[in-house]
């Protein structure tokens, strides 16, 4: 019984829901089975639900102390009890949104042929919708349902001449377009990280419509369209600039979780451009990160993602903001989840010392810790490679490059990042054998033209120093 659907649902209730559900169970409107009340009395009486207290014979003995164990009967009462709990959860979900409750009330008035009340309720909902700062997919879905109710009310008659059919169609298209664009952005982001491809239906028609100036007044569509083009065509700087402007001007038009997703996609655009050697986007990414922390956009329950923390340190050091990053490593580390805090502060401290050319300290820190995160492991290995080169330990570097390349090829989750790392290894090997002016000139041209190459700046610095 412990692994039953009933127990899983019961354990999902928080304290407030449990108190509400107790009243629900005893309401004859929702439950007419006394044995269901008794079963829930038993569960409510236990401070902790575990396999011991939910053993089937023990529960049956509580319900029917004078009867022999009967499994079909216990299943029967558990089924009723599950139905009652599911009905409560359904009620909680549907009543959670005031807007949904308002639409349900409008529908009820209309079905009961209470025209005056329905018209009044409809005006009230429109007035409330006009006040809403958030205008995302859910907002336009609610607007669509309102227009459908309006259409049904206007169609009440033998030959209705004036209807809002065009508005209904337009409202439906906004929901559809917004939904496709939103999830198209998610698909592209997922494709960039994992070996997974997606077919996005109707995307060509949607793009064509927007390019022909459709949906110009729907800011949320414009945000997701700018995001989509930025992700699909990262060379289209104008789309990114539009996206950044929308994020700055309309911070309230999307709910916090959606705004954060788009904000992170903007950051990923900058990082992708940086990985291709566009240094200007390092400054842009750093600005977005700092703003995202200051405004708590990038914080989830006051916790900063360990990936964001690592990126901030890397970009800050790339921009030679060493003093600011030294402060951030400690201060930003306090925002990390305790499960990641020690490892990430440790790793980024090593990165800081490496950036300051305190190689012995950096190497000691890197050797003393194993990292679970694949990208952190790659970065740690990249630091070791650089130290071998910068300290002239070329024999060690040769064997290290070979093992590092094998490691990179084995890790499928590196996706598009792998090519940039392998390019770095290949050109690093060429670097240590470039002695003549001609060889250096050829290598300079190759480094300059190779993309993606996240370590382009470092390779050029090493070549110039030889």
For 110, list phi and psi in degrees, rounded to 5.
-65, -45
pLDDT at 234: 87
Tell me the mean pLDDT in the region 141-150.
Answer: 96
C-alpha torsion sign, points 379, 385, 387, 390: negative
pLDDT surpassing 80 at residue 180: yes
Tokens standing for residue 272: 């992708």
The pLDDT score that the predictor gives to residue 466 is 81
pLDDT bin (cut points 50, 70, 90) of residue 157 is low
Long-range pairs, 255-260, Cβ under 8 A, ≥24? 255/134, 255/136, 255/138, 256/297, 258/136, 258/182, 259/297, 260/297, 260/298, 260/300
Calpha distance 88→72 (Å, rounded):
25
Question: Binning pLDDT at 50, 70 and 90, where does residue 55 land?
Answer: very high
Quick one: residue 194, left, alpha or beta (phi over 0 = left, psi -120 to 50 = alpha)?
beta
Q: Which of 149-163, 344-358, 396-410 has the lowest mean pLDDT?
A: 149-163
Distance CA 178, CA 140 (A): 9
Q: Quick one: tokens of 343?
A: 């490892």
Res 456 pLDDT > 90: yes
Q: What is the pLDDT of residues 204-242, one digit of tens each?
A: 999 999 999 999 999 999 999 999 999 999 888 999 999
Average pLDDT over residues 18-31: 95
pLDDT computed for residue 158 by the predictor: 63
Question: How high is the mean pLDDT of the chain?
Answer: 93
In terms of Cβ atoms closer than 10 Å to its own Cβ (0-12, 13-18, 19+), residue 51 is exposed
**Mean local confidence (pLDDT), 249-266:** 96
Question: Is pLDDT of 276 > 90?
Answer: no
Give the mean pLDDT of 114-125: 95
Look up the pTM and report it: 0.75
Supply the pLDDT for residue 27: 95
Beta bridge partners of 304: 299
Q: Is 159 helix (H, G, I), strand (E, B) or coil?
A: coil
- Residue 159: pLDDT band with limits 50, 70, 90: low
| pLDDT given at position 2 | 87
């Amino acid at each position: 019984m412990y692994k039953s659907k009933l127990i899983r649902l019961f354990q999902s209730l928080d304290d407030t829901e449990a108190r509400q559900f107790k009243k629900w169970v005893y309401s004859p409107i929702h439950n007419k089975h006394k044995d269901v009340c008794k079963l829930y009395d038993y569960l409510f009486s236990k401070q902790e639900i575990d396999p011991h207290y939910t053993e089937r014979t023990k529960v049956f003995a509580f319900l029917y102390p004078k009867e022999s164990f009967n499994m079909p009967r216990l299943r029967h009462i558990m089924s009723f009890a599950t139905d009652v709990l599911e009905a409560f959860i359904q009620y909680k979900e549907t009543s959670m949104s005031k807007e949904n409750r308002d639409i349900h009330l409008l529908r009820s008035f209309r079905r009961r042929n209470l025209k005056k009340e329905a018209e009044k309720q409809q005006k009230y909902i429109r007035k409330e919708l006009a006040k809403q700062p958030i205008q995302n997919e859910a907002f336009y879905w609610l607007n669509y349902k309102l227009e459908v109710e309006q259409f049904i009310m206007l169609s009440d008659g033998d030959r209705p001449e004036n209807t809002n059919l065009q508005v209904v169609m337009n409202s439906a298209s906004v929901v559809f377009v917004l939904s496709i664009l939103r999830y198209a952005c998610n698909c592209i982001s997922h494709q960039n990280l994992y070996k997974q491809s997606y077919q996005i239906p109707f995307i060509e028609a949607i793009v064509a419509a927007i390019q022909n100036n459709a949906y110009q007044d729907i800011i949320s569509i414009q945000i997701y369209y700018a995001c989509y083009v930025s992700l699909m065509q990262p060379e289209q700087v104008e789309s990114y600039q539009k996206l950044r402007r929308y994020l700055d001007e309309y911070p309230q038009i999307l709910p916090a979780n959606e705004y954060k997703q788009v904000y992170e996609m903007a950051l990923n655009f900058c990082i992708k451009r940086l990985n291709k050697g566009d240094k200007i986007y390092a400054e842009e990414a750093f600005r977005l990160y700092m703003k995202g922390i200051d405004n708590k956009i990038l914080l989830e329950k006051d916790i900063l993602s360990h990936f964001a923390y690592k990126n901030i340190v890397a970009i800050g050091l790339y921009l030679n903001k060493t003093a600011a990053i030294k402060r951030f490593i400690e201060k930003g580390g306090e925002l990390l989840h305790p499960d990641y805090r020690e490892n990430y502060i440790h790793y980024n401290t090593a990165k800081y010392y490496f950036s300051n050319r305190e190689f012995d300290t950096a190497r000691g820190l890197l050797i003393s810790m194993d990292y679970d995160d694949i990208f952190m492991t790659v970065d740690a290995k990249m630091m070791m490679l650089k130290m071998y080169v910068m300290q002239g330990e070329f024999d060690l570097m040769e064997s290290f490059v070979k093992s590092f390349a094998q490691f990179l090829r084995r890790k499928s989750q590196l996706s598009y990042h792998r090519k940039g790392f392998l390019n770095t290894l290949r050109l690093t090997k060429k670097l240590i054998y470039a002695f003549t002016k001609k060889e250096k000139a050829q290598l300079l041209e190759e480094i300059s033209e190779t993309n993606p190459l996240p370590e382009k700046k470092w390779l050029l610095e090493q070549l110039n120093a030889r």
